[in-house]
Amino acid sequence: MLVSPLSPPVSAQLLLSFDFDGTLHDPASVPAIDPDFFCLIEELRKTHGAIWGINTGRSMHHFAHGLVEGKFPFAPDYAVVCEREIYVSKPDGHFVAEKSWNQRCARDIDEIFAKAKKVMQKIREHIGHHTGAHWMEEDDGSIGIIARTTEEMDWIVTEVKKLTINHPLLGWQRSTIYLRFGHKDYQKGSALAEVARLHQLSSELVFAIGDSHNDLEMLDHNVAQKIACPANAVSDVIEHIRRQNGYVCRRTHSQGVIEALEHFFA
């Protein structure tokens, strides 16, 4: 069943971006998202004119499943899925593609994949010889790798960096054992900056929180000046947030998210 978004604010004055898996959503908790999170969002809508969204590596289909599983009482105002595609929720709860961005993103990725075809084949062979990781090519054109362990993915990322040195625009996003290839210009950070641009909000009015490597581009002061990570974030993200004078939560998952929102907007 679809859930509608909150009625829009008179004027948007704040933009909030939440990673889903490992940040807002903890499958080991019951409920997976603390219901107080949604009360706080409603409050921030009233007090700060807050627009909020989920910025995730999940596909649209998998994200929609997450809304049901996470018992969202209302829909986010926007979603960034596959770490790069932007969708905006309509009053009836349907999500509509932000066409010009998504089309540009798909076109540029096709172009970079065509240019980097040989090197990607080389990566595939190299990974196949040295690891037990799976190479994934989906019907929608997305290409990625699933490792057996995070240590194996650490090694794969080091090798991918070396092999792609002459392809500066070939990007990838890594979260735990997953890696998705793409274009350097399209990631959670640039997608969030585009959402901010559409709402005419500068980076001082943007908040972002995430726990993994694929969140690093949105946890950047050029994109969001209020940045945080939950206590369960990977060590590289915790160090990054500390270096940028962001907020490292004492609590994990959605309780950490609540803590960070209270820290910045109490």
CB of 25 to Mg ion, least distance (A): 9
Question: How many chain residues are in contact with Mg ion, going by CB under 5 A?
Answer: 5
Rounded Cα gap, residues 200 and 198, in angstroms: 6
> What tokens appear for 123 in the block?
């990566």
Chosen residue from 6, 19, 49, 58 binding Mg ion by CB under 5 A:
19
Q: Nearer to Mg ion by C-beta: 17 or 164?
A: 17
Window of 15-23, 38-46, 96-104, 146-154 that interacts with Mg ion by CB under 5 A: 15-23
The residue from 34, 211, 220, 259 that contacts Mg ion (CB under 5 A) is 211
Footprint of Mg ion on 39-78 (CB under 5 A): none
Interface with Mg ion includes 194 (CB under 5 A)? no
- Specify the residue, 18 or 186, whose C-beta has the smaller distance to Mg ion: 18
**For Mg ion, which residue of 15, 17, 22, 50 counts as binding (CB under 5 A)?**
22
Q: How is 192-261 classified by DSSP, letter by letter? A: HHHHHHHTT--GGGEEEE--SGGGTTTSSTTT-SEEEE-TTS-HHHHHHHHHTT-EE-SS-HHHHHHHHH
| No. of helices (H) and no. of strands (E), the chain | 8, 12
- How open is the CA angle 11-105-200, to the nearest 5 degrees? 15
Stretch that binds Mg ion, among 17-25, 47-55, 111-119, 121-129 (CB under 5 A): 17-25
Taking alpha carbons only, the member of 180, 159, 179, 181 closest to residue 169 is 181
Where do contacts with Mg ion occur on this chain (CB under 5 A)?
Answer: 19, 21-22, 211-212
